[in-house]
């Protein structure tokens, strides 16, 4: 599902954010990307969505070689990838329902699909009763669940989460992890960047550890370190 | 079908939100477009009108035979008689010295000192002649024929005046064209800036749209529609203004006793329609260009 071949990413100004990484992630896997701040986790996720071009090496996502893909095809690639962030990126002037529906509307999904999919996904994340609320009326955990609903409403093959529990208290973080686990069990490949040791140790999933842009450890059912 | 309706509703909503966001800038852009395209419309109509008028004159609707100021009555009558009986001549009108003075008086209403230098007796009486067929060569031969008659001072076919007027209109056309280009550029730049502001105001939405895989054209479309809407509004206002001015000018020229030329300075209704459509379209194009540039520049994958 995801394959990196000897990938290097150097930002303008000579920062070597990813340094010769090779990695293979199969369909349906749940992978933790761990490492301290600045180790290259976010950069790795941005390479997978083609937000940043690689400097060297090859990135394959959902069967596409991102180095070869036409720029006009990038949006279609992104429809196969859901993204979740530490800061939620919800639109404050839209309700919970509208925030999720927006993701379908802007890729041209028909109204009847929007009308059935949005309530269904809000049910899945347990927010049916908050459809008409605005983001600033929700707790952090609820906001993150809205953002997960938005990322997953189009049933992507891959879900990328960049420190999704970074702004949440431990109990709320647990809820989010249960939700991501459920999504993973539907066959969705999940890659989650985090430096939350408790969560990683408790889930016992594959762990890829980065340091200075290099993979220093790759363990099935691993722990934080 | 529902997909199309959904999209249409989405674009309508997004465009409306953008338009509402910055009303002053919106009004400024619309007015600039309006003035710019109004000039284009007027220039176009003036072009039509001058072509119409010149065409009629060149074909030779009429020419004028000036007699000596002190012509003998018998000579004047003889010329008149010959004109009336001429098979190629439709009708004539005799302008007495008094009438000629009156016309001059009107023409020189702002320059009384010039008028003071002429007297009624010094002016030539004349025949205005409308030939049966409006054709340049016939007129020239008729003119040559009557130039020889005793008591005739000169025959004016209007060719020189027509040439002078054409030259004047040509330079007028260039000035209008130049001004419209400047104003069109200014309006496109204003719209460009407006769309930039609108896109900045909506950068969070744009970020999310890119994230979930909206295509660039989908993201751009509401902004381009917004620009086109402004252009359309400006185009309509400009076309209306041009229409009002056209009626005013034609009214003014229609009453003109001075120069028959200006009385034929009109546009036909189909020419007016063409000019109006061109004016409105011009507005839309300016709006589309300004916003398309902005949307292209401030949106990368
Ligand atoms: N857009 C950017 N431009 C330049 N340097 C960047 C950019 N983003 C990240 N970096 C640098 O790349 C390195 C890796 O950053 P990042 O991928 O954000 O790590 P992490 O997510 O693990 O904290 C850091 O040194 C960071 O300063
Ligand atoms: Mg990061």
Q: State pTM to two decimals.
A: 0.74
Residue percentage of chain A with pLDDT more than 90: 93
Q: For residue B89, what is the domain's CATH number?
A: 3.30.70.3040
Is B108 in the same domain as B89? yes
Residue A180 CA, distance from chain mean position:
10
Domain final residue pick, B141, B159, B177: B159
Same domain? B50 vs B74:
no
Looking at all shown ligands, the one closest to residue A163's CA atom is 2
The answer to whether residues B193 and B279 belong to one domain is yes
The model's pLDDT over A54-83, given as tens digits with 9 standing for 90+, comes to 999 999 999 999 999 988 899 999 999 999
User: For the range A121-125, what are the long-range contacts, defined as Cβ-Cβ under 8 Å and sequence gap of 24 or more?
Assistant: A121/A149, A121/A152, A121/A153, A122/A96, A122/A97, A122/A149, A124/A149, A124/A152, A124/A182, A125/A149, A125/A179
Same domain flag for B169 and B276: yes
Task: Please check whether residue A128 is in contact with residue A164, taking contact to mean a CB–CB distance below 8 angstroms.
Answer: no
Q: Which two tokens stand for residue B231?
A: 């252009």
In this prediction, residue B61 carries a pLDDT of 55
Q: Which of B110, B129, B159 is the last residue of a domain?
A: B159
**What mean pLDDT comes out for the span B177-205?**
86
Say whether both B173 and B134 belong to one domain: no
> Which atom of ligand 1 approaches the CA of A42 most closely?
21
Give the pLDDT of residue A35.
94
pLDDT at residue A146, rounded to an integer = 97
Residues B34 and B179 in one domain: yes
Please identify, among B132, B159, B186, the residue that sits at the C-terminal boundary of a domain.
B159
Q: H/E element holding A206?
A: strand A206-211
Q: Is B133 in the same domain as B233?
A: no
Range of the domain at B178: 2-54+163-297
Q: Single out the residue of B17, B16, B8, B37 nearest to residue B237, CA to CA.
A: B37
Read off the tokens for B116: 């003071």
Q: Per-residue pLDDT tens for B159-178?
A: 666 677 777 777 877 888 88
Distance CA B222, CA B189 (A): 18
Residue B2 at interface with chain A, using a CB cutoff of 8 Å? yes
What does the pLDDT read at residue A200? 94
Residues B47 and B184 in one domain: yes
Q: Which of A124-128, B134-138, B257-261, B297-301 has the lowest average pLDDT?
A: B257-261
Number of domains composing chain B: 2
Q: What's the confidence (pLDDT) of residue A85?
A: 96
pLDDT by residue (tens digit) across B222-267?
Answer: 889 989 998 999 999 998 998 888 888 777 776 655 555 566 667 7
What's residue B4's pLDDT?
A: 67
Examine the domain organization and report whether B66 and B40 are in the same domain: no
Q: What pLDDT does residue A125 have?
A: 95
Q: Distance from B203 to chain A by nearest Cα, in Å?
A: 10
Q: Confidence class of residue B56 from pLDDT cuts 50, 70 and 90?
A: low
Query: Is the ipTM value over 0.90, yes or no?
Result: yes
Residue that has been written with the tokens 């953008």 in this structure: B18
Same domain, B91 and B128: yes
Looking at the fold, whether B264 and B167 belong to one and the same domain comes out as: yes
- The beta-carbon neighbor of A76 closest among B3, B6, B213 is B213
Specify the ligand 1 atom closest to the Cα of A162. 21
Domain shared by B111 and B185, yes or no = no
pLDDT per residue as tens digits for the range A4-62: 999 999 998 889 999 999 999 999 999 999 999 999 999 999 999 999 999 999 999 99
Report the pLDDT averaged over residues A97-108.
Answer: 95
């Amino acid at each position: 599902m995801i394959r990196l071949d000897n990938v290097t990413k150097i930002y303008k100004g000579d920062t070597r954010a990813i340094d010769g990484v090779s990695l293979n992630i199969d369909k349906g896997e749940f992978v933790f990307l761990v490492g301290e701040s600045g180790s290259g986790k976010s950069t790795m996720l941005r390479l997978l969505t083609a937000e940043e071009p690689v400097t060297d090496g090859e990135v394959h996502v959902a069967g596409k070689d991102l180095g070869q893909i036409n720029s006009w095809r990038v949006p279609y690639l992104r429809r196969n990838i859901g993204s979740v962030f530490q800061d939620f990126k919800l639109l404050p002037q839209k309700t919970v329902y509208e925030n999720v529906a927006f993701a379908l509307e802007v890729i041209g999904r028909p109204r009847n699909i929007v009308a059935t999919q949005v309530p269904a996904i809000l049910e899945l994340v347990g927010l049916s009763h908050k459809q008409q609320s605005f983001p600033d009326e929700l707790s952090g955990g609820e906001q993150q669940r809205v953002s997960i609903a938005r990322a997953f409403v189009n049933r992507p093959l891959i879900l990328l989460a960049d420190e999704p529990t970074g702004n949440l208290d431990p109990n709320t973080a647990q809820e989010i992890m249960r939700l991501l686990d459920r999504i993973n069990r539907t066959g969705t490949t999940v890659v989650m960047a985090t430096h939350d040791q408790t969560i990683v140790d408790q889930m016992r999933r594959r762990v890829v550890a980065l340091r200075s842009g290099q993979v220093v450890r790759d363990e099935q059912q691993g722990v934080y370190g | 079908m529902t997909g199309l309706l959904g999209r249409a509703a989405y674009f309508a909503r997004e465009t409306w939100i953008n338009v509402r966001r910055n009303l002053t800038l919106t009004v400024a852009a619309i007015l600039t477009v309006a003035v710019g395209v109004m000039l284009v419309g007027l220039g176009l109509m003036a072009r039509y009108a001058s072509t119409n008028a010149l065409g009629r004159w060149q074909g030779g609707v009429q020419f004028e035979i000036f007699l000596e100021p002190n012509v003998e009555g018998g000579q004047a009558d003889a010329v008149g008689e010959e004109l009336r009986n001429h098979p190629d001549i439709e009708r004539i009108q005799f302008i007495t010295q008094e009438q000629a003075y009156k016309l001059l008086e009107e023409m020189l209403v702002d320059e009384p000192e010039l008028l003071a230098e002429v007297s009624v007796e010094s002016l030539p009486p004349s025949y205005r002649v409308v030939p049966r067929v409006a054709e340049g060569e016939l007129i020239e031969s008729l003119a040559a024929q009557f130039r020889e008659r005793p008591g005739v001072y000169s025959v004016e076919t209007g060719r020189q005046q027509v040439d002078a007027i054409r030259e004047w209109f040509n330079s007028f056309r260039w000035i209008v064209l130049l001004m419209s280009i400047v104003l069109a550029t200014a309006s496109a730049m204003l719209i460009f800036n407006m769309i930039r502001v609108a896109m900045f105001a909506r950068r969070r939405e744009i970020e999310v749209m890119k994230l979930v895989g909206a295509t660039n054209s989908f993201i751009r479309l509401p902004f381009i529609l917004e620009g086109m809407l402004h252009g359309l509004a400006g185009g309509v206002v400009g076309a209306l203004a041009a229409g009002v001015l056209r009626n005013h000018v034609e009214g003014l020229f229609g009453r003109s006793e001075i120069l028959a030329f200006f009385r034929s300075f009109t546009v036909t209704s189909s020419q007016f329609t063409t000019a109006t459509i061109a004016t409105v379209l011009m507005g839309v194009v300016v709006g589309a260009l300004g916003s398309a540039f902005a949307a292209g520049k401030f949106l990368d994958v």
